[in-house]
Structure 1
Amino acid sequence: MSFEFEKELRVTETNIPGLLVFDLPVHGDNRGWFKENWQRAKMTALGLPDFGPVQNNISFNATKGVTRGIHAEPWDKYISIAAGSIFGAWVDLRPGESFGQVFTTRLDPSRAIYVPRGVGNSFQALEDGTVYTYLVNAHWSLEQKRTYTFVNLADPELDIRWPIPLEESERSEADLHHPMLRDAKPMAPKRTLVTGCNGQLGRAIRQYAEAHGLEGFEYTDIDEFDFSDPNAYDKYDWSLYGTIINAAEYSTELCDDTDNADKAWRVNAQGPALLARVAAEHHIVLVHVSSDAAYGMNKESKTIAPVSLYGQTKAAGDIAVANAPEHYVLRFDAETLQDSEQCAKEVFRLLDEHTAYGIRDFS
């Protein structure tokens, strides 16, 4: 094995959006070598998304010429080499302008690559005993596996120049039969969960999504998913979700009855707090619809100082939502909140502007 020692840690962007190549410092002497394979603080400072890995996988490739792929999986991954070297090929299988873009390079222990969700991954071992390791930010499950998408290693449209001809390589039976790019299914976006779907705003969001043919939306209400109950969250595999739209609300009129105070706090405060927790844990974008009643008499200064029970519970929910790293709070005045169709349009305008891959904007 031969590779360059003592490189400077640096990142290089590629023609595929979000696909990043890292040069890694490897320190060697007569005993062998050592490297910091993944270093969160240094790498995020260079532009690596703080993707929150939860699982480490290792692929051992016994002989030169073993070739695997092309698989697009529903998680982000950080790939590095522990022994040997590979020729890697990546194909963008996300819907959009970059669909079908190809990037190739060689990796050894001094180079690594970050692959965003939906980018197809493949590699060819260039040495016997190549060890390929990768971090992912979702646990493998059968439900996740059903969302994989594939493209054929030998597709002439991709024009991948494999160092070892594919007819001389070692491939699995499954990899021989993946579709060509023209027939490949783009990676579906992560799911969107809409809470409060039986309220005025929830119904308007559903109507908008269905009218515009938007896929991947799921709808629930407190009778089905009591989002104020911590134990209710176990029914979902949250790694499948990319966005939560919280349209649930205990309204002003109901809050005027003090007998309903406990319900108001559950729906307007406790529920959003628990949604914020799960959003933070699973890197989910949380869009929370609120009211300017949270400001009380301080609407111009934008200082949270509610005076009514309704405003107090909404303010508590807003503050809790701020704990989700990727969040938006949409506060409407009382008149606009009555126009649920307009509020729904504002929700989708926000999604159109900000929920692309790698979102890091805050409200």
Structure 2
Amino acid sequence: MIPPSHASPNEALTRALKAQAAALGFAACGVARVDAIPQAGARLAEWLESGAHGEMGWMAARADQRRSPADLWPEARSVVMLGMSYAPREDPLRLAAAHDIGRISTYAQGQDYHDVVKKALKALARWLVDHGGGDLKVFVDTAPVMEKPLGQAAGIGWQGKHTNLVSRSHGSWLFLGAIMTTLDLPADPPARDACGSCDACQRACPTDAFPAPYRLDARRCISYLTIEHKGPIPAGFRAALGNRIYGCDDCLAACPWNKFAAAGAANRAFAARAELAAPELGDLLALDDAAFRQVFAGSPIKRIGRDRMVRNALIAAGNGGDARLLARVTALLDDPAAVVRGAAVWALRRLDAAAWTRERAARWPHEPDADVRDEWALAEPA
């Protein structure tokens, strides 16, 4: 029940809404007007024109709706922006030197955030309809909504130099969700950029994916390369991937504001599953489709499919140099998926030059895929 107040009805409603959001597990809640990000559309257009989105064609396909909430839903008057903490309990970079372990980005080690955040959003949306009326729509990551600029406009954080939202209270560890409503709710003041002269996130990037502060070239980003990119990992980035097999935490983990993020405040659903906190590369290289679906059920990782995961694990195996993986790498030279065979060629070359030379003589003349032939065509290792 909304407590009595001398303020306007919608001010009292908004205060009660924020209290309900906190009760549902949201760490941050703020309100922005639908016209609060007038510059976002131009910035998006410039970014798309540069090609920095790579293969993410969905970014361009609905750019006209993405540039403003009013373009997506003209009847909307307010946007409620929400953040749910997934602050890690352990150092995300602690396994950087492990040769036989694959590293999965913190956000993907627990339950699929799409499911968790959307469930809470829907519960909050029902509460808002019950107490305030109006029509509304909820969004979590998969719709053409510019959550990060809207999050800054709603005051829950600012878009940092790594282009992700940064919070004074929760660092760089917030999942974002949005509720658009036809209600005219009082807007919160926008958050002020507090990055200052710090460039820790820029310096932390292993692939120099930031051509300038606040600008990301996704084509160079390890998260993009391991998740969105469907073909062979470009040769120039493979060594930089290290043992990262799904995403990359480096720029996020470098943010000094993380020191205020309390891991205990994070939703328990995002706690790392044992099999995803430190997966062994040997197990990942042995995955078939059925095993992949079983291991990654309920995880956002399931979206990339078995072939991309094994491709990533092969790059990690090649970087790690663990000879115990040689048999499994060699077996994948016969994989039905060309992207896996090509990565196996590269990994074998790194693990055992003599074995690579023998296999090359037998396989290169009969390989049907052009990308895999290109891998075999590399000069013999010194």
TM-score > 0.5, shorter chain as reference: no
- In our comparison, the structure showing a higher alpha carbon Rg is 1
Higher helix share: 2
Q: Which structure exhibits the higher relative contact order, with contacts defined as CA atoms closer than 8 Å and separated by 6 or more residues?
A: 2
TM-score, normalization by structure 1: 0.29
